[in-house]
Chain A
Amino acid sequence: MSDQKPNKKPEKKPDITFFHPDLLEAPADGRAPYLKGYRCKKCGQLDFPKLSPCPSCWGEEFDVVPLSRQGKLYSFSDNFIGQAGMKTPYSFGYIDLPENLRIFAQLEGEPGSFRCDDDVELTVGPVRDNRDGVPLISYKFRKLNSR
């Protein structure tokens, strides 16, 4: 970016800030990304996404717990009519993690390729464009061993 000319708009690059840092950790050293669970220090309840105060006891201190990267696809849908401004088709589903948490997430893979109770794993990718038209990166799931 050092050779940028003053009159030229900086080229748009993918937004590398994740939707919310409380949700997802993607270590810079290349280690696998993980979702961040929050365990209430007062009552022990584990939640995702972060709920503060804890909805069970209103505690405000938490331990961050890396959540399992694999889960089961409880259900899903391939969407051919979507939200205004989103390219279709796109798929999403509920993923049940071993920590007894259910995650709503977009699915990476071809429409028509998913089945209930598929084993899926966490990945990271664009979920939509932000208001400037650059991709917003967040957590997604894909079929296990699909790559």
Chain B
Amino acid sequence: MKLQRKVYIAGVGETKFGRHEVDFDVLGRAAALEALRASNIDRPTMVQSAYVGNGTNGMVTGQTVLKDLGMCGHLPIINVESACSAGGMAIHLAVRDVAMGLADVAIGIGCENHTLHMAQGTAFATAMSDIETVHGAVMTGKYAMRAQRYMYETGATAEDLAMITVKNRRHATNNPYAWFKGEISVEEVVRSRVVASPLTLQQCCGIADGAGAIVVCSERMVKKLGIDKPILVAGSVVRSGPYHNRPRDITGDDITEETAAQLYEESGIGPQDVNIVELHDAFTIAELLYYECLGLCPKGEGLKFLRDGNATHGGKCVVSPRGGMLSYGHPIGASGAAQIAASVKQMRNQCPGYQVDPVPRVAMTHVTGGGLSGTEHAACTMHMLVSDW
């Protein structure tokens, strides 16, 4: 869907990610309030629509988040669920409202608390009505199969995959919002316990809690609010995952490739113009494959792209400058929103100690969602953001 009028990000908010004693609604409210205040919005009635992404915390999550901010009653609050893509999708819907002229100010929120509600030592699975789930499928194992095949076909090693964790944790070293950060060696990553062969614990994102929120508004409103560093939403795309029950190449990712192609077309911005990317690095292998799927490098050259230092500071495109999911952990409903919040802060030069230099002008975010049998992912949400000052 090409955006029909200009949409800007006015303000963003995010909580620290990690294990929280407070539930999803408190986290979501904190991120929302931060985003609203950063947008110079000083009363609840200015917001005209709200979308709240959440994966697992139950019903009417959005109203639960927003009622204590005085935001229930005058505006529609719509709850959005698409597993790991829920947060990104909530932002997409807020963008749509502004693009279509349904609102001049809308908010998208992603929030999740897993650790208060989930059994320890278990892995995410989808509904028991799913044929793969009945047979034991878990997300870790499904990504591990992609890694297994990639290593078999390319000769990549466990040490190669481990470099992704090492890079992203290093990026996050001084990021106060990240959970797992700082120096870790390739050996430590490889030697950590095997979760789903060939993936070890340090190659999997942690199960975490957190929230992110984004306020979007029209061109007229961004001026009225006096936002001095407006971020243009140059593209916002959501797609659903095609169904297959036939042999296919799982070292590619059809839904990511299709979503990226649509985003590039609609935004008029190509992969070579993108300065930073936050992508769905829930597992090391994913980031490696997505270099290729997103067109950051040619097919088959993901490993070279990484080894040549093109995915880090000083390279062609800094991938996961906030540290990615491998550093933040992955509260499934929150991550898509937090990626955008972190990218906006990079573009506004608000990341002391982990700021990309030169300050990025073009940022892209990518979040997939859901393990549904026969699809690589049930959903994919991507955004293209451009500095407009």
| Chain A residues with a Cβ under 8 A of chain B | 19, 23, 47-49, 55, 74-84, 86, 90, 92-94, 96, 100-102, 104-106, 111-112, 115-117, 127-128, 136, 138
Using C-beta atoms within 8 Å of the partner chain, give the interface range for chain B: 35 or more
Residues of A with C-beta under 8 A to B75: none
Known: A96-B247, A104-B373. A80 touches B196 (CB 8 A): yes
Residues of B with C-beta under 8 A to A136: 134
Q: In the complex, are the beta carbons of B136 and A19 less than 8 A apart?
A: no
Which of A55, A76, A81, A96 meets B123, CB within 8 Å?
A: A81
Q: Assess whether B245 is interfacial by the CB under 8 Å rule.
A: yes
Q: Assess whether B358 is interfacial by the CB under 8 Å rule.
A: no
Q: In the complex, are the beta carbons of B196 and A49 less than 8 A apart?
A: no
Q: Bound state CA distance, A86 and B133, in angstroms?
A: 11
Q: In the complex, are the beta carbons of A102 and B244 less than 8 A apart?
A: yes
Q: In the complex, are the beta carbons of A102 and B194 less than 8 A apart?
A: no
Q: In the complex, are the beta carbons of A83 and B122 less than 8 A apart?
A: yes
Q: Bound state CA distance, A96 and B138, in angstroms?
A: 20
Residues of A with C-beta under 8 A to B72: none
In the A-B complex, the 10 residue pairs with the smallest Cβ-Cβ separation, listed nearest first, are: A77-B144, A75-B149, A75-B145, A84-B122, A116-B152, A78-B197, A77-B141, A77-B196, A96-B247, A79-B141
Within 8 A of A (CB), among B144-185: 144-146, 148-149, 152
Residues of A with C-beta under 8 A to B145: 75-77, 93-94
Which of A47, A102, A138 meets B135, CB within 8 Å?
A: A138
Q: Assess whether B248 is interfacial by the CB under 8 Å rule.
A: yes
Which of B138, B193, B373 meets A82, CB within 8 Å?
A: B138
Q: Bound state CA distance, A58 and B90, in angstroms?
A: 32
Known: A79-B138, A83-B136, A92-B141. A100 touches B246 (CB 8 A): yes
A96 nearest CB neighbor, chain B only? B247
Q: In the complex, are the beta carbons of B245 and A47 less than 8 A apart?
A: yes
Q: Bound state CA distance, A80 and B195, in angstroms?
A: 5
Interface of A is mostly: strand
Which of B132, B135, B149, B193 meets A74, CB within 8 Å?
A: B149
Residues of B with C-beta under 8 A to A19: 134-135
Residues of A with C-beta under 8 A to B221: none
Q: Bound state CA distance, A96 and B131, in angstroms?
A: 17
Q: In the complex, are the beta carbons of B148 and A102 less than 8 A apart?
A: no
Q: In the complex, are the beta carbons of A128 and B247 less than 8 A apart?
A: no
Residues of A with C-beta under 8 A to B245: 47-49, 101-102
Q: Assess whether B137 is interfacial by the CB under 8 Å rule.
A: yes
Known: A79-B141, A81-B123. A104 touches B250 (CB 8 A): no
Known: A104-B132, A104-B135. A81 touches B140 (CB 8 A): yes
Residues of A with C-beta under 8 A to B198: 77
B147 nearest CB neighbor, chain A only? A77
Q: Bound state CA distance, A7 and B308, in angstroms?
A: 73
Residues of A with C-beta under 8 A to B250: 74-75, 94
Q: In the complex, are the beta carbons of B136 and A81 less than 8 A apart?
A: no
Within 8 A of A (CB), among B187-234: 193-199
Which of B131, B196, B248 meets A81, CB within 8 Å?
A: B196
Chain A nearest Cβ from B150, distance in angstroms: 9
Within 8 A of A (CB), among B55-96: none
Known: A77-B141, A81-B122, A83-B123. A102 touches B246 (CB 8 A): yes
Q: In the complex, are the beta carbons of A84 and B247 less than 8 A apart?
A: no
Most buried by A among B136, B199, B244: B136
Residues of B with C-beta under 8 A to A84: 119, 122, 125
Q: In the complex, are the beta carbons of A82 and B122 less than 8 A apart?
A: yes
Residues of A with C-beta under 8 A to B125: 83-84
Q: Bound state CA distance, A105 and B141, in angstroms?
A: 12
Q: Bound state CA distance, A106 and B198, in angstroms?
A: 17
Q: Assess whether B352 is interfacial by the CB under 8 Å rule.
A: no
Which of B131, B137, B152 meets A92, CB within 8 Å?
A: B137
Q: Bound state CA distance, A19 and B128, in angstroms?
A: 12
Residues of B with C-beta under 8 A to A90: 136
Known: A77-B141, A79-B196, A82-B122. A105 touches B149 (CB 8 A): no
30 A-B pairs in the complex with CB atoms less than 8 angstroms apart: A49-B245, A55-B243, A74-B149, A74-B250, A75-B152, A75-B250, A77-B141, A77-B144, A77-B145, A77-B198, A77-B199, A78-B194, A78-B196, A79-B141, A79-B196, A81-B123, A81-B140, A82-B138, A82-B141, A83-B133, A83-B137, A84-B125, A92-B136, A104-B132, A104-B135, A104-B137, A112-B197, A116-B148, A116-B149, A128-B134
